[in-house]
Structure 1
Amino acid sequence: MRFLFSAGSGHSHIAPLLPLATTARDAGHDVVFVTGSAAARFPEAAGLGTVAIDGAPTEASARYAREHPLDRMRTLSRDEALSEMIAYYLVGVGAGTRLAEMRAFVRDWKPDLVVSTLAERASVLAANLAGVPYVMHAIGPPKTAEVMAAAWEVAHELVRPYGVERLPPRETVPYLDIWPDELCRDGAGWEFPARWPLRPENVLPTGAPRPPVLDGLPYERTVYVTAGTSHNTKPGVLEAMLDGLRDAEVNVVATIGRDGDRARFGDQPDHVRIEHFVPQDQLLSFVDVVVCHAGAGTILGALAHGVPLVVSPLGTDQFDMADQVVGAGAGLLAGSGTPSADAVRAAVREILGTPSFRERASAIAGKITTMPAPADILDRLKAYVANDS
């Protein structure tokens, strides 16, 4: 079979797809990964054939900013703001500016199946136009049909110039779901109701040895601080997280990203170490709490290692994910937007003093390990394509 995987131009959007993509390649299938040129190095590093499709988003992005000014977005509810951002930016701009080139590639390469994500809809539209089956691969929690309704209206507009009035129903389109059921609310009307659980192999413990960054730290317990790869340079976020732990009797390891500036944090006490990058799979097995921005990769990684979280969401669906962590009893909220140093300090103290947080995180970790492996899902996908043909 020929598999086309497609994701947006960010490591956090690409990494969740790599286990299934490499499993398909290792099983002898033809696999190509399509993403933006700025992120092509990530699937290439995994040994996957990679194609860069960027489109020309400058004019479309400017139009989006004019039609959806920030002041107006601030007046919307969380769900309304998320719905508009997905519909008019990720679909209208992201898919709209890449559709023609993606359609041409799908037509010429002739995949048997397209595997895409919520944040990359050009390949979904191109698959529909070419009559190729597609599936959706999670990069975070599933979205409701209500939140995604506007995105589908924009998608219908994008395909009309190609002679398609409306895209087909999606009730039977598989959604490869890496998000644990323990975090999802019951009774939601999902955008893709045919959810197939898929173990998130990229965040599982690997048995890596204790990383050298932890050597010589003075305290028994350790806190990992991160704002991911998209928000690590936002002023005040990491500063507040570190200020909250500066005088606490815990070791602190903070990662600020390869583009982060250590100088902005000034001098730190001996129990605080600031690094540009430490692989999470090396660090998470040796920490007691994660303090973060409620990004999907960090949440999933921490819970896969049984580590509770202090979350301070900054935007998009991070607010929902933070609520899910708190609702599952696996963490605490330390404010929304720029976190409060006092709130971070208090939340870390409460988690370290309350065993139930670690117990709930460990229970979720156990459930994650029992989710179907990529090889199992690959077999189901082959059957899905055969039935669709």
Structure 2
Amino acid sequence: MRILFTTYPDKTIFHAMVPLAWALRTAGHEVRVAVQPEFTDVVTQAGLTAVPVGRNPVTWRMAERNPEQVEAERAGLPAPYDAAVLDPADLDFETMRDGYQNLLEQWHRLDNFPLIAGLTEFARSWQPDLVIWEPNTYAGAIAAEACGAAHARLVWSVDVFGVARERYLRLKAEQPAEKRADPMADWLGTYGGKYDFDYTENLFTGQFTIHHLPASLSMHADLDYLPMRYVPYGGAAIVPKWLWAPRERRRVALTLGTTATDRFAGYAANVPDILDALADLDMEIVATIAESEQKKLTHVPGNTRVVSYVPLHALAPTCDAIISHAGPGTFLTGALHGVPQLAVPWDFDEPELARRAAAQGGSLSILADQATGESVRAAVLRLLDEPAFGERATDLRDEIHALPSPNQLVPRLEELTAKHRSATR
């Protein structure tokens, strides 16, 4: 088969795709990754074949120039996706409609418009059998429908996209016919007219959905889901020599991801306050802190090792606990090794993933703007001293390892591709 992956240029999202791309490649299938030109180096660094399409984006640069928009998004899940975590009885059709319209104007068009024409042109030329796209990159669904390929979303976290859409459609059906506005369907439908296919909800949610979360953490709409074991990949990785040596005392990792520094003005949690609060404890704190944030540290406690980067899949197995932002890649890497975790979430999907992880029992959660040094210290001591957290973290590890690996998922993808691929192509 020929399989085409596509995403807008975000490293963490692309990294979530790499293990499956390689599983398909090593199974003998042809794999290409179509991205905007400036992102091709990230793809080729992963050992995959990049296809530059369209033109470079402006979304992140716009976010940097618009502090009010950034702060509004950091306040929580941007409407309408917060609908996925609210009581359905509290949902309002007009609010969700306006939320979709706002997201369409502020993000989705900007993320997708530079991709659509070039991606569709390449797809029609190369004729992939399957297109795999992440849930914001609707250009992938458009290109697949335009060339008759099967297509799937690869969801990297809780599926707020699918659940919110399902709830919106339910509210829409309850409205008078003349008030059933649907900004996303209208927008996606225009490409159906341009490329000669009919609008269906597959353009929004794919013909099927691949996702990384075990059942205890998952959020599902009434869609066809394929769970897949998370395999960590974070780009080029070198294991430092200090990580070879046996530990002399308990180790806690502090890692708050790259989005906070790449996209926003810095970490939402107060890192100096957290490090100071842990300074007198008999443990080693390994803090992976971006160089731009290291400059804000006036001092480093004696029990803290500050590094710009260390591969988390190498660090996590040596840790007794992890403090993180609950980014899905970060959280799942720790969970793969049965490590109890303290989540200090802030942005988009992080609070809901953290809430579900805490409900599972192997983690604790404190919102980043409430994560004082004192509260983090108390939570870390609970994770280390109360055996129940380790036991439930082990349960979560076992649940994740029971999921099919990317390689084991390949035969099922072959079946679904044959089922959904257009017979008229």
- Does the alignment reach a TM-score above 0.5? yes
Shift of 1:189: 2.8
1:312 aligns with 2:339: no
Q: What amino acid is aligned across from residue 98 of structure 1 in structure 2?
A: L
Per-residue CA distance 1:32-52 (angstroms, 9 max, x = gap)? 012344443333123211123
Unmatched tracts of structure 1, length 5 or more:
none
298-307 vs 245-254, which deviates more?
Answer: 245-254
Counterparts in 2 of 1:380 and 1:293: CA distance versus 1, 3 Å? same
TM-score (norm 2): 0.78
Counterparts in 2 of 1:244 and 1:79: CA distance versus 1, 3 Å? farther
Unmatched tracts of structure 2, length 5 or more:
83-98, 169-181
Shift of 1:376: 2.5
Aligned partners of 2:60 and 2:343: how far apart in 1? 33
Aligned partners of 1:123 and 1:103: how far apart in 2? 8
How does 1:1-389 map onto structure 2 within 5 Å? 1-53=1-53, 55=55, 57-58=57-58, 69=69, 80=80, 84=100, 87-143=104-160, 145-148=162-165, 149=168, 152-153=184-185, 155-156=187-188, 159=191, 162=194, 167-170=199-202, 173-184=207-218, 188-190=220-222, 193-202=223-232, 212-213=242-243, 215=245, 220-232=249-261, 234-235=266-267, 237=269, 238-257=271-290, 259-337=291-369, 339-388=371-420, 389=423
Shift of 1:252: 0.3
Aligned partners of 1:33 and 1:71: how far apart in 2? 32
Q: What amino acid is aligned across from residue 282 of structure 2 in structure 1?
A: E
Counterparts in 2 of 1:248 and 1:152: CA distance versus 1, 3 Å? farther
Shift of 1:139: 1.4
Q: What amino acid is aligned across from residue 95 of structure 1 in structure 2?
A: N
Counterparts in 2 of 1:90 and 1:127: CA distance versus 1, 3 Å? farther
Aligned partners of 1:167 and 1:299: how far apart in 2? 36
Shift of 1:241: 3.3
Q: Is the 8 A contact 1:314 1:338 kept in 2?
A: no
The residue matched to 2:232 in structure 1 has which SS? helix
Aligned partners of 1:80 and 1:386: how far apart in 2? 34
Q: Which has the higher contact order (CA 8 A, sep 6+)?
A: 2
Between structures 1 and 2, the one with greater helix share:
2
Shift of 1:81: 6.0
Q: What amino acid is aligned across from residue 356 of structure 2 in structure 1?
A: Q
Q: Percent identity?
A: 22
Shift of 1:243: 3.2
The residue matched to 2:302 in structure 1 has which SS? coil
Q: Is the 8 A contact 1:116 1:124 kept in 2?
A: yes
Counterparts in 2 of 1:164 and 1:343: CA distance versus 1, 3 Å? farther
Q: Is the 8 A contact 2:38 2:56 kept in 1?
A: no
Q: What amino acid is aligned across from residue 26 of structure 2 in structure 1?
A: D
Two-structure CA RMSD over aligned residues (Å):
3.4
Q: Is the 8 A contact 2:128 2:149 kept in 1?
A: yes
Equivalent residues, number: 379
Per-residue CA distance 1:247-284 (angstroms, 9 max, x = gap)? 33321001124x53433213212210110110011100
Aligned partners of 2:362 and 2:349: how far apart in 1? 18
TM-score (norm 1): 0.85
Counterparts in 2 of 1:163 and 1:107: CA distance versus 1, 3 Å? closer
Shift of 1:61: 7.9
Q: Is the 8 A contact 2:325 2:350 kept in 1?
A: yes
Counterparts in 2 of 1:86 and 1:289: CA distance versus 1, 3 Å? farther
Q: Is the 8 A contact 1:88 1:154 kept in 2?
A: no
154-163 vs 30-39, which deviates more?
Answer: 154-163
Q: What amino acid is aligned across from residue 319 of structure 1 in structure 2?
A: P
Per-residue CA distance 1:321-362 (angstroms, 9 max, x = gap)? 111111111211222446322221111111112111111111
Aligned partners of 1:273 and 1:71: how far apart in 2? 31
